[in-house]
Structure 1
Amino acid sequence: MTKVYEALADAFVAEGTTHIFGMMGDANMHWMTAMAERGTTLYEARHEGSGLAMADGWARSTGKPGIASTTSGPGVTQLATSLVCASRAGTPLVVFCGEVALGDLGAVQYLDQAKFADGVEAGFVHVNSAARAQEAVQRAFFIARTESRPVIVSAPNDVQLADWDGPETYVPSTELIDTAPTRPTPERIQQASQIIAESDRVVVLLGRGARNANAGEQILELQRRTKGLLATTLQTNNWLREETPYYAGISGLYGTAAAHELLPDADCVIAIGASLNHFTTEHGYLYPDARFVQIDIADQVVTGTGQPVDCYLRGHAEQALDGLLDILGESTSEGYHTTEVRELLSDADTINEDFVSEEGLLDPREVILSLDEKIPADIPLVTGSGHQTDFGTMLFTRTREIVSNYGLFGAIGQAPMLTMGWSAGQGNRPTLVIEGDASFIMHLAEFDTACRYGWPVLVIVLDDEALGAEYHKSGAHGLKPELAAIPAPDLGAAAVALGGRGAMIRTIDELERAVDEYVADPAPTVLDVRITREVLSIPYRRLLRAEDV
């Protein structure tokens, strides 16, 4: 007789599950065993939250729902930070969580898992009867796919072990979802075209949805006709940079001084696959006089300006851009396409300040410039959170795939696991992550996971032996920065002890030799790059010192 946990496993397989990240416990071990028997690859992490973050990275790299699993109670609570991060990132995940026996409120590992899910912004589906167990899986995958968010499937242990008496045929959620491209209405396209035609200074703003749609050629044609600038969100930084001299880069706090000079003059912003959140618009201050045309498949939302956009085109980028280009003529104004703008943008990323020289410590700006030159552009980049991430976010300029974890909950420590999941999702593809020392040490044990599975991740630790953000913020607020300084062990040696490669780096020559070794033979590697605390990032100089840089 088939058991419910086997029927649940059959449903997950029918939904396309091939890889699972997490930890086994007594409340999910039957299901995980059944999944393994059905050919699914199981990745055992050292921490449940880490496993979920790996599933997050896997989902971002494959475009499919990531799958994670944990046991009941404390296994579930360990997921909290990673679930909120995934929710804020809009990552589709399905998390199989074991649960104590149905109604056993006195069990040691009892937790109201529905309340927990609500608190961490995750969907929740309860397997509360044997007959409807597969229906719960179908509903969870449907929510994850259509709402692009994490969903917990909570399965009580006694229900899992019951006999399965449900329907013989399972209908996967993919058969319930209409995937036909959405086209904006002709009236909306006409309205958008009129706004654009009436504008002289157009910014074409690219988000992750634009890049995922592979709409680069249409975007470049739109920019050419409008005589506009290209700007990006953090998630699409450097995309199409090499295709136009009118590339302004990141829109927001991380933008260059040139971008901050040019973008406020815009009278029209065409946002493609970008949410226009407050990071991108600087709460509206970056585009004070612009009208907004937004192209997206999501429901329209209030933007970071605090207002709805002037024209919303709900639809896939390709169809919306085709409609616009069919009726949009070429601007008779020179717009942003002037010699002065071109010259201003040509050296917008140039550092015109001397690097800081400190014995045995490197300037983080010099480190990033060296990495950008030495690491091939086909190696993806993941950036973390905290002060150190500012340097990588602003100074990498080669076009490469990027995952930015900034602003998705402000949680440090997530980026290395996202990187591991990304690498696994791409068939063990070499992948680069820039992280801080406090962040990396938080989940140091997961480097063992990378080594066990052979994920060829290159972890660059910008190590200032401090909680960098708090160190600089404390100084700005007249507090004691030294309280945020924490000595760090040799993380390169720790990486070697865990089964990978590693080195402590104190000179650019050492850095370049280590990077060359990795590129020649990618393997799990940690480079503990010791950096000075004397360099404050441009975003922090703007926020803490009100510098115009």
Structure 2
Amino acid sequence: MSAEPTIPRAEGPSPQAAGAWAAIVDVLDRAGVSTLFGLPADDIALLRALAGRPRPDVVVARDQRAAAYMAIGHAQASGQVGVVVVGKGPAVTTVSTGVLEAATAGTPLLVLAAGTPAARRDTGAFQELDQVAVMSPLVRRALRADAPERVVPLLRHALLTATGPVPGPVYLEIPDDLLEVPVPVPDGPVPPPERAVTSVLPGDARASRLVAGARRPVVLAGGGVRSAAAGADALALAEGLGAPLFVTASGRGAVDEDHPHFAGVSGLYAPEETAELWAETDLVVALGSRLEETATYGWPETVGTDVPVVQVNRVASEFSTGFEGPLVLGDAGPVARGWAAGGAGDARWRARVRDSCARAAARSPELPDPSSGRPPRVLDVLAVLEAELPADRVLVGENGLADMWTYHWPAYTCRSVGGWVVPSEQTPLGFGVAAAAGVKKALGGRCVVAVVGDGAFTLVDADLPTLVDAGLAVLYVVVDNGGYGWLESQRSPGDGVAAGTFAAPRGHPPTLTDPRVHHEVVTDLAGLVPAVRAAYGATRSGRVAVVHVPIGLDDGPHAESVLEGDFPHLAGT
């Protein structure tokens, strides 16, 4: 038996940093963090600690919630942990919506917050709040550094926890009394853990036997596949089994949507050409999904009863126990690769799948005739964006009545060289507007376009100067139906809800007053292509660009009622 290895130790005490933020910045830099987002507390100790350093840099937002969305977008686009910095009390409760989004999306997010000094807790101090208790239900870990020597160890622990093996948000509180005291900083970064591949399931397991014996399988990839970068493995499984590959809304962007086995978004957003495959399947393999209701909407009653659903997730809390079938605890990538290697598939089912997927893909929206004289609709906008923007552009999504068109593949395709950043099942309003800034920060010269509703845009447009100041040249397309169109579209004459409660009539979209933002309103098809070209050109020169497109309340894939009698200028376009 060999002796335990000797661990080298540095001679003498660790170097000292001049305050907690100087120590934190040093550790984050060594960990590869390039950018911080946030609105620091009343002091500017963090900004002092960053002064004169090449990295990380900081994007100072106007709103803590928007800062969290930016950090999430940056994390999803860069593969780094997102870092958001906020103050105490109400700053922490404001950022909590972004923390909820990161938790649901499985995005690594580190929240660094100021805190009340230990000596003043429970005294009614300024902005005092039991922040650890508030954040604990939303994060992987909620931590507080109450001594100088605990700052760096807790920060390192937070980074390891946030990044995996199940990514998510972590909260670390830095009380104000640690701002000026020396903080020890050990030399060198913490090496990342070496991960053993233990998720290859034996061939005699029930789940493996069901997969091997399926004649008409369907594969579903959720947000867990995206966060684990296992999209290629999911596609390999679909190819090996001859199965269609559906994604959930939060799994959008996990796989190449030009692949011949890609079948679109499952459930509420499924194309009719591939939705019919659910009625014929004899097995569903769900990778990295909680199987929430929008993903399973419209599934036949036999799925999950007579037709088993094999679920693969990294943690047990992600399983849905409402479906009959084996539960596999493991990483989707290795599991899918193992099953793909033994897949044979049924030749008739494989041909059926490819035909259905091809017919669905053929329904991509056509470029509109600019001479028609009619106002543009959302599908016109998407077709023009597809034609005019570079192939490696990245689409950032929202989720409202009109911008929900982007969920309907192939309304806007996702080439392998492009990509998607989409909200999770939480779909917080304004996520895509702010997240686009973080995506642009991560991707630099690539085109980043966010298709958003006017309700979402107005919620976050206070941070447009943040994008301008930071040189984050995002192209925003605002499909504007006058308010919160999803709610307005559900109003009916007999329910007592006044017309215009959620979407008020108005003649034109609001004018953006910042001259540094390129802004154009498009009211007819003839102006759509020139407006998109000009906006893209503006982003190429480093300017934020906004294209406003007024649309009707009937312009949404699930709008069931139209207020033609009340607001004729909003409807029937």
TM interval, short-chain normalised: 0.7 to 0.9
Q: Which residue of 2 aligns with 1:547?
A: none
Q: TM-score normalized by structure 2?
A: 0.82
Q: Secondary structure at the match of 1:248?
A: strand
- Tell me how many residue pairs correspond in the alignment: 528
Deviations 1:178-236 (CA, angstroms, capped at 9, x unpaired): 33444324246x64442123222111223355466666666555434433222222244
Q: Which residue of 1 aligns with 2:141?
A: 123
Q: Percent identity?
A: 23
| C-alpha displacement of 1:405 | 1.4
Deviations 1:25-84 (CA, angstroms, capped at 9, x unpaired): 335x21332134443211111112211211111111111111111122232232122222
Deviations 1:113-167 (CA, angstroms, capped at 9, x unpaired): 1122135446311011122221221222122122422222111111222233x4x
CA distance in 2, matches of 1:420, 1:9: 22
- What is the aligned counterpart of 1:537 among 550, 553, 557? 557
CA distance in 2, matches of 1:258, 1:388: 22
CA distance in 1, matches of 2:545, 2:281: 44
Change (3 A) 1:406 1:137: closer
5+ residue gaps, structure 2: 1-15, 562-573
TM alignment of 1:129-528, pairs within 5 A = 129-146=147-164, 147-164=166-183, 166=184, 169=186, 172-175=189-192, 177-187=193-203, 191-210=206-225, 219-220=234-235, 222-237=237-252, 239-244=255-260, 246-282=261-297, 285=300, 287-288=303-304, 289-296=306-313, 298-301=314-317, 303-304=319-320, 306-307=322-323, 309-310=325-326, 312=328, 314-315=330-331, 317=333, 319-328=334-343, 330-332=344-346, 334-338=348-352, 341-342=355-356, 345-346=359-360, 349=363, 361-394=375-408, 395-399=411-415, 400-405=418-423, 407-408=425-426, 410-475=427-492, 478=495, 479-486=497-504, 493-494=511-512, 497=514, 499-522=516-539, 523-528=543-548
Q: Secondary structure at the match of 2:428?
A: coil
Q: Secondary structure at the match of 1:386?
A: coil
CA distance in 2, matches of 1:13, 1:247: 39
Change (3 A) 1:463 1:230: same
| Contact 1:231-1:249 at 8 Å conserved across structures | yes
Q: Secondary structure at the match of 1:432?
A: strand
Structure 2: which amino acid aligns with 1:433?
A
- What is the aligned counterpart of 2:125 among 107, 119, 122? 107
Q: Secondary structure at the match of 2:147?
A: coil
Q: Which residue of 2 aligns with 1:87?
A: 103
Deviations 1:330-360 (CA, angstroms, capped at 9, x unpaired): 23551252399548834673679x99x9997
| C-alpha displacement of 1:512 | 1.0
Structure 1: which amino acid aligns with 2:385?
L
Structure 2: which amino acid aligns with 1:379?
R
| C-alpha displacement of 1:382 | 0.9
CA distance in 2, matches of 1:159, 1:375: 49
* Structure 2 residue 97 is the aligned partner of structure 1 residue 78: no
CA distance in 2, matches of 1:120, 1:343: 38
* Structure 2 residue 80 is the aligned partner of structure 1 residue 60: no
Change (3 A) 1:89 1:321: closer
CA distance in 2, matches of 1:339, 1:269: 14
Q: Secondary structure at the match of 1:442?
A: helix
CA distance in 2, matches of 1:160, 1:241: 49
CA distance in 1, matches of 2:110, 2:134: 15
Q: Secondary structure at the match of 1:387?
A: coil
CA distance in 2, matches of 1:446, 1:488: 24
| Contact 2:220-2:245 at 8 Å conserved across structures | yes
Change (3 A) 1:33 1:285: farther
> Greater shift after overlay, 360-369 or 466-475?
360-369
Change (3 A) 1:451 1:331: same
| Contact 1:22-1:70 at 8 Å conserved across structures | yes
Structure 2: which amino acid aligns with 1:465?
G
Structure 1: which amino acid aligns with 2:395?
L
TM alignment of 1:7-46, pairs within 5 A = 7-27=23-43, 29-39=44-54, 40-46=56-62
| C-alpha displacement of 1:97 | 0.9
CA distance in 2, matches of 1:221, 1:427: 31
Deviations 1:294-324 (CA, angstroms, capped at 9, x unpaired): 444x12445446247425262351x334422
Q: Which residue of 1 aligns with 2:3?
A: none
